[in-house]
Amino acid sequence: MTVRAYRGISAEERRAERRARVKDACLDVVGEGGVAKVTVEAVSASAGLTKRYFYESFPDLDTLLAEVIDDIFTGLLTDILATLPRIDSIPERAHTIARMLIEFFQRDARRARLYVEAPGHPTLRARREVAFQTYTRLLVEHLQPEGTPLDRRREVAALIIVAGVTQAASEWLRGSVELTRDQIVDEIARVMIAALD
């Protein structure tokens, strides 16, 4: 059976648009009430869609939340990897990573709240732990001189940094750390360099 285009938009494009609306609505619900307020009903209402269209895109809430937070971590990683090749200095690279992390979440309070509340939700916590491994490799590969042999201790140090920076950034985004944006960026970069030196 052939599905005709509606107003010049194919059925596949309409499904993709609804899927994107559901994901954006999920962030809206998180931004307004936190992860605990994310329900199929709340997300569907925020997206202006019926629950039928929610289930057209996602089998359940956990799948939705996993994809939304994966998009966040992937988006940040893509931005960082596009920027680092233009920077030769390791201290400058550390500062750039720290600045981009803070600015990425500061630009969108919805992303920041999802990031901050991730440890309290099993699916989000699991996705965050996968991201830890990805960002650990990022630090090992980009914050040491080229040609430096693989050092397991450096990998452990990088993992400790990623976990610590995640917590520090979360506390700063919550308003619990009384530093300016430049100060938190400087401190994160300083710790990165010292730990991996």
For residue 21, pLDDT beyond 60: yes
pLDDT interval class at 1 (50, 70, 90): very low
What value does the mean pLDDT take over residues 162-166?
Answer: 93
User: To 10 degrees, what angle do helices 152-174 and 122-142 make?
Assistant: 130
Domain membership of residue 45 (yes or no) is yes
Q: What's the CATH code of the domain at 28?
A: 1.10.10
Q: Are residues 44 and 133 in the same domain?
A: no
Range of the domain at 187: 61-196
Domain membership of residue 3 (yes or no) is no
Spell out the alpha helix ranges (H) of the chain.
11-33, 40-47, 51-57, 61-83, 90-106, 109-117, 122-142, 152-174, 181-196
Q: Are residues 86 and 176 in the same domain?
A: yes
Question: Going by C-beta distance under 8 Å and a sequence separation of 6 or more, which residues neighbour residue 94?
Answer: 143, 189, 192, 193
Q: Are residues 135 and 173 in the same domain?
A: yes
CB-side neighbour CA atoms (13 Å) of 1: 2
Rounded CA gap, 104 and 75, in Å?
9
**Torsion angle defined by CA atoms of residues 47, 51, 56 and 57, in that order, rounded to the nearest 10 degrees:** 40
Domain membership of residue 4 (yes or no) is no
Q: What is the pLDDT of residue 112?
A: 94
End-to-end, the C-alpha distance of the chain in Å comes to 63
pLDDT interval class at 183 (50, 70, 90): very high
> Residue 106 carries which side chain, given as an amino acid letter?
Q
- Domains contained in the chain, number: 2
Q: Are residues 92 and 122 in the same domain?
A: yes
Q: Are residues 126 and 157 in the same domain?
A: yes
Q: Are residues 107 and 44 in the same domain?
A: no
80-131 residue pLDDT tens: 999 999 999 999 999 999 999 999 999 999 999 999 999 999 999 999 999 9
Rounded CA gap, 168 and 155, in Å?
20
Q: Are residues 53 and 93 in the same domain?
A: no
For residue 64, pLDDT beyond 90: yes
